[in-house]
Structure 1
Amino acid sequence: MHCTRLSAPEQRLLDHFYRQQGSRMRAPAQGKLWVARSPGIIAGLSLSEVESGQWLTGLFVAPDRRSEGVGMQLVAKALENACGSTWLFCHPTLANYYARQGFAPAGELPQSLRDKLQRYQRSKALIALERTAHPGQFSAG
């Protein structure tokens, strides 16, 4: 398995993967899209720039490849050179999964994310998590 960032011409591949898996997720047009391949796409995520950092969305691992560490390896690779904060929203039951990757309950969210979270929480149980890192702080393992 290897994790890579998709080039602009390849970005449609992540939406195709989501559809193949029956997911309603969509890759944001302005996001930096990452995938894990073995040899085809088995997982994907997006990183979008926000004030003071980035927002991780759309982490999805093919159901037949879950519990193999694919998602953790993909997140680690996508964030290996991240500086500043990375935020994400998840169901509270996933907090421990993300804690193993250095995420903790978010402190102050950028205004754009605060607004999104409030909107999303009207219909979903979600929490905001944050990881502040410097290059090389966390490893893919």
Structure 2
Amino acid sequence: MPELHIEPLAEPLWPLLNKFYRSHNSSMKALKGGRLWVARDSEIVAGLCLSPVMGGQWLTGVFVDPAYRGQGLAARLIEQAVAGVEGTVWLLCHPDLEGLYQRMGFSQETVLPQSLSERLVRYKRNKPMIAMGFSII
């Protein structure tokens, strides 16, 4: 894999991550109040958002350009983004992604903060979803 640059995305550049999501027909969006992280080749090839919630962070918007998948990029991006974060990192995902996140240390054996628990209930009305967490010590 070419050497990619993984770094936080400065707030004035946030529209670039949304443009990346749209270019791949993804409905994901950068969340206001979150910290955005990207991996770049010459352009953004992966991104995510970490938003503060009670007791930790909510990980959303994890997306890797299909041409860069299968190379461990999502794991590298998440690892760097959560370095130095205290508490638990939670995510809500399709059950098909459970194995991917388990390999990164996430587990369904987690207690969600109320705000995420309520979201999970709403999301599950329209599609299959699971919650996973990873505690950082």
TM-score bracket for the superposition, by shorter chain length: over 0.9
Matched, 1:10 2:10: no
Return structure 1 stretches of 4+ with deviation > 6 angstroms: none
2:83 aligns with one of 77, 80, 84: 80
Give ranges in structure 1 of 5+ residues lacking alignment: 135-141
- Partner SS state of residue 134, structure 2: strand
Structural mapping, 1:36-47, within 5 Å: 36-47=39-50
Specify the alignment match of 1:137 in structure 2: none
2:131 aligns with one of 101, 109, 128: 128
Give ranges in structure 2 of 5+ residues lacking alignment: none
Shift of the alpha carbon at 1:70?
1.1
Specify the alignment match of 1:92 in structure 2: 95
1:108 aligns with one of 106, 111, 121: 111
Q: TM-score, normalised by structure 2?
A: 0.94
For residues 30 and 52 of structure 1, the distance between their equivalents in structure 2, rounded to whole angstroms, comes to 16
Identical-residue share of aligned pairs (%): 45
Matched, 1:51 2:45: no
Query: How big is each residue's C-alpha offset from its partner over 1:68-94, in whole Å with a ceiling of 9 and x where there is no partner?
Result: 111111011101112110000111121
Counterpart amino acid of residue 74 in structure 1: L
Shift of the alpha carbon at 1:12?
1.1
RMSD: 0.9
- Partner SS state of residue 81, structure 1: coil
Query: How big is each residue's C-alpha offset from its partner over 1:50-73, in whole Å with a ceiling of 9 and x where there is no partner?
Result: 000010001000111111111111
Shift of the alpha carbon at 1:36?
0.4
Q: TM-score, normalised by structure 1?
A: 0.91
Which one has more relative contact order, counting CA pairs under 8 Å at least 6 apart?
1
Across the two proteins, how many residue pairs are aligned to each other?
134
